[in-house]
Amino acid sequence: MSEAVQALNRRSIANWPSARLLDFAEANARDRELLEYILAELSRRGVDVAVAAAQRVAMLIGDTAEAPERIAADSGPEVAALKVRLDQAERRAREAEARAATAERALASEPLPSRGGTLLRRVHLAETAPGWLVDAARRAFRLRFHPDRFADPLMKARAEETFKEAEDVFRQIAAGQ
C-alpha cells in the first residue's frame, strides 16, 4: 500500500470509536505498525474505554510485559466483587428456575374438583355467580390449563385433559343459562 493511502486510512480510523479501534486492532494483530498507530490514538484519548482498549492493544503488541499484572493489581478487588455478584445472580437465577419448574409441575397436576356437586362448583364458582364472572373464570381456566404452556409431555397431556374437561363444563354452564 502506498504511503498516501496509508495516511488517508489512518486519518479516517482516527475518528473511529475506541471499541471499533480495538476490534480493528485485534483483527490486524500481526500488523505491528498499525497496532502502534492505534495505541498512540487510543492513548491520546482520556476516556476509560480508550484506556482499557489501549492496554489491550499494548498487550497485543507485546511491549508491556507487566500490563497483565498491572491490570490485575489495579482492578483486583473490583473484579473479585463483580465475580461474587455474578455468582450470586447465577445462584438466584437457578433457584428461580427450580421454583418455576416446581410450580409448573404442581399446576399441571392440579385436577378439577370431583364430579360430585354442581357444574359451577367444579370450576370453583358459587351458585350465584353472574355471567360475567363465569366468562372471566373460563378465560382464567383457558390461560392456566392451556396445553401449549407446558413443555414436559406428561404435564402437557394432563393439562390437555384438564383443559378439555373445563371447556366441557363451561359449555354445559353456557347451555344451561
What is the rounded distance in angstroms from the CA atom of residue 162 to the CA atom of residue 147?
Answer: 9
Give pTM, 2 decimals: 0.35
What is the rounded distance in angstroms from the CA atom of residue 54 to the CA atom of residue 159?
Answer: 58
Task: List domains and CATH numbers for the chain.
Answer: 3-65 (no CATH), 110-176 (1.10.287.110)
Q: Could you report the per-residue pLDDT of 13-37, keeping only the tens digit for each?
A: 778 888 888 888 888 888 888 888 8
Q: Could you report the per-residue pLDDT of 93-108, keeping only the tens digit for each?
A: 999 888 887 877 776 6
Per-residue model confidence as pLDDT tens for the chain (177 residues): 445 446 546 667 778 888 888 888 888 888 888 888 888 888 888 788 888 888 888 888 884 434 445 555 556 788 888 888 999 999 999 998 888 878 777 766 666 555 555 666 677 777 777 888 888 888 988 888 888 888 888 888 888 888 888 888 888 877 776
Q: Which spans in 14-111 are helix H?
A: 18-27, 32-44, 48-61, 67-109
Q: Let me know how long the chain is.
A: 177
pLDDT at 88: 93
Of 73, 74, 77, 54, nearest to 64 (Cα)?
Answer: 54
Of 94, 174, 161, nearest to 134 (Cα)?
Answer: 174
Task: Name the packing angle between helices 153-176 and 67-109 (round to 10°).
Answer: 40
For residue 116, the 8-state DSSP code is: S
What is the rounded distance in angstroms from the CA atom of residue 144 to the CA atom of residue 164?
Answer: 12
Here the cell at position 126 is 358459587
Judge contact between 9 and 24, C-beta under 8 A.
Answer: no
